[in-house]
Structure 1
């Protein structure tokens, strides 16, 4: 009864908030009204983000989230959290800001610059790429975004002999699904730029794509005729290289788990039950083609991650170890971008956000002592912190 006398209950559409009339004491914890201003920014356009927004959360508008990430791009654990919180909020962090500064200052008349994002598991590499994808959309880039390469090489839905390349295999269903993702992200921009194919493609005796046909016609064919989807992706990558070099468009390539392309530990099984290496998967050809520096008016941002290729003997998270000799030589020269654990400002901002979303409900976890304990237990790793906070 004493507690009821001390607080006035106020319902909102998002949560239950307690508005103190006089200071209420629950044990040794003094309740304080929460302020969301300390952990949020109202700037939801990624291209406008700068150093003043570092460590703050911004909300991706629902229509933008649907366009960019409906078919992948957000880690599964984070996507569940987005559904729980009712919003897609990304933290503005220095690695993403660094890449954005470089993209703004780049000379696009020169060969495409490659950036390799690396860091420990759970530090936020995939969310950094998601932020960069949002920036690319705001900046008018055609997006060539692969949400997670291991989904193809370790969890493919179907394997078929390659239609046009003997000794290789196609992943028709996965390839068609990716073309849907590409179309969803770029439909309006490709229509606006009126991009067209540069040569005729013959797929069968009855099916072909004539020279000068809209690029979307090529994409639609791959979606409707999944048999040719893998080969159409290879053609799409080559067409975008040519269109970018000709100045018809700007292309931003973003690939998560890129090091999977250079390690033979796949789960792609051929007809003879043998393991198929990535070099024999048709999709690999297209994305290795567009990550070479032999084109201009674009940029390439990839991530390397040890969980993309399970191996208990990894010596380091550095790109030279994750890419291996072949992958490192393919990407060299590149600009390394390290994603680290949260610093003090980012950690406090993350805790404030969890308190605001009622993800943290145990009062002691809001205190300075509770924050120190969470900092120690999680080592300020974003993924670990999220799971530590779940039962609190």
Structure 2
């Protein structure tokens, strides 16, 4: 950790410091280092790593808040201000994507990994906000692992025999997709006729907004609408690059779930009493299978950024955090080749700056946290983990 003397020297000589241009809300050793650059696509590895930035309201409402943990969103609402840290994993992915757009090569895939609470989702949100400002089409999926635990209007699919639609989750995702891309969706057109049933269809040339409105008015076809839109992306009919963000992607290769189907019977186990209801796997849910197709590399002009986490692991892998263990043989083979990106714990400078902001904003009020010994204890207890630091800092009350 930086001592008080080193921190004071950095504040006095910030024009020569590796943090680059920054602004300070308060003087003294506890002043957090913030960059005056709020546009995520302009952050660079040589000037902004370790700094805090304030996301613009439009970026926050449309993209970034969906990648934040609920307790972090509540913290920002309580404090009345927001500050996120610029970190190396997001900038490295962003630089690679800036040179990949429009080159016609197959989908480039990144897998973010690290211990739970390390900030994988926030890094993905930083990349998504930067791509949105560059004019990319965003396809983001959050909390898909919960879809495997709770059914939402489950029924057999009319378009894919033997599979099941979750109409409620399909409608939720379509509303989210429209809110995130509402500026560009009216200009996108479907290239083929979409047949919903024997009597109703959407002609070729209709806008994507019409497809979404039809599915929201008739929730039974929401999962089919998602599949139609994904088919259009893979066909290359979208003029701009597409970024796919999938949190907890390892849930796509679950071999069982908490969703039961009385229509499917299985061989009973020894000594088991009926009914013998079979689990519905991820392969049988049309919504998850549709997004899984976007994680393949058989389409161009786009990229996929995924994360793997114990949140989406089966019970025998809850303590794992490496991609190979969480994805399993089938998932790892499906995504290979991909670029693994490790989200490491906070370094000394990042930890010091984060503690400065917690103190300055009033979230960390204990006098002990202002001492070197107190900060060393916070760093030790959290082990540099962003989620643990947030939790522990809230428990350090004034004493």
Contact 1:44 1:61 in 2 (8 A): yes
CA distance in 2, matches of 1:35, 1:45: 27
Structure 1, residues 140-159: CA drift from partner, whole Å, max 9, x if none? 11000002211322234332
Query: 1:387 Cα deviation (Å)?
Result: 0.8
The answer to whether the aligner puts 1:381 opposite 2:385 as a matched pair is yes
Tell me the residue number matched to 2:183. 188
The answer to whether the aligner puts 1:43 opposite 2:37 as a matched pair is yes
- Pairing of 1:295-334 with structure 2 (within 5 A): 295-313=299-317, 316-334=320-338
CA distance in 1, matches of 2:256, 2:383: 30
Tell me the residue number matched to 2:222. 229
Structure 1, residues 7-62: CA drift from partner, whole Å, max 9, x if none? xxxxxxxxxxxxxxxxxxxxxxxxx9557864311211110011211111111222
Tell me the residue number matched to 2:92. 98
Q: 1:254 aligns with which of 245, 248, 251?
A: 245
Query: 1:283 Cα deviation (Å)?
Result: 0.7
Structure 1, residues 163-213: CA drift from partner, whole Å, max 9, x if none? 22222111101110100000000010223xx21101111112332111111
Structure 1, residues 245-268: CA drift from partner, whole Å, max 9, x if none? 356121000000111000124222
CA distance in 2, matches of 1:355, 1:135: 29
The answer to whether the aligner puts 1:124 opposite 2:119 as a matched pair is yes
Give 3-state SS (helix, strand or coil) of 2:305's partner.
Answer: strand
CA distance in 1, matches of 2:309, 2:394: 25
Query: 1:220 Cα deviation (Å)?
Result: 1.6
* Distance of aligned partners of 1:208 and 1:247 in 2 relative to their CA distance in 1, 3 Å threshold: closer
The answer to whether the aligner puts 1:89 opposite 2:83 as a matched pair is yes
Structure 1, residues 323-364: CA drift from partner, whole Å, max 9, x if none? 111111111110000111101111111101101110011111
Q: 1:163 aligns with which of 124, 136, 158?
A: 158
Structure 1, residues 363-390: CA drift from partner, whole Å, max 9, x if none? 1112211110101111111111111110
Contact 1:314 1:321 in 2 (8 A): no
Tell me the residue number matched to 2:370. 366
Contact 1:90 1:131 in 2 (8 A): no
- Pairing of 1:261-272 with structure 2 (within 5 A): 261-272=252-263
Query: 1:77 Cα deviation (Å)?
Result: 2.1
CA distance in 2, matches of 1:373, 1:258: 34
CA distance in 2, matches of 1:311, 1:88: 35
Query: 1:84 Cα deviation (Å)?
Result: 1.7
Pairwise CA RMSD: 1.9
Query: 1:85 Cα deviation (Å)?
Result: 2.2
* Distance of aligned partners of 1:220 and 1:50 in 2 relative to their CA distance in 1, 3 Å threshold: same
Give 3-state SS (helix, strand or coil) of 2:299's partner.
Answer: coil
CA distance in 1, matches of 2:377, 2:217: 54
Query: 1:89 Cα deviation (Å)?
Result: 2.3
Matched residue count? 356
CA distance in 1, matches of 2:117, 2:218: 38
Contact 2:188 2:238 in 1 (8 A): no
Stretches of structure 1 that go unaligned for 5 or more consecutive residues are: 1-31
TM-score (norm 1): 0.86
Query: 1:99 Cα deviation (Å)?
Result: 0.5
CA distance in 1, matches of 2:160, 2:304: 27
Query: 1:69 Cα deviation (Å)?
Result: 5.1
Tell me the residue number matched to 1:179. 174
The runs of at least 4 consecutive aligned structure 1 residues that moved more than 3 Å come to 32-38, 312-316
CA distance in 1, matches of 2:358, 2:370: 10
CA distance in 2, matches of 1:88, 1:168: 43
CA distance in 2, matches of 1:35, 1:132: 31
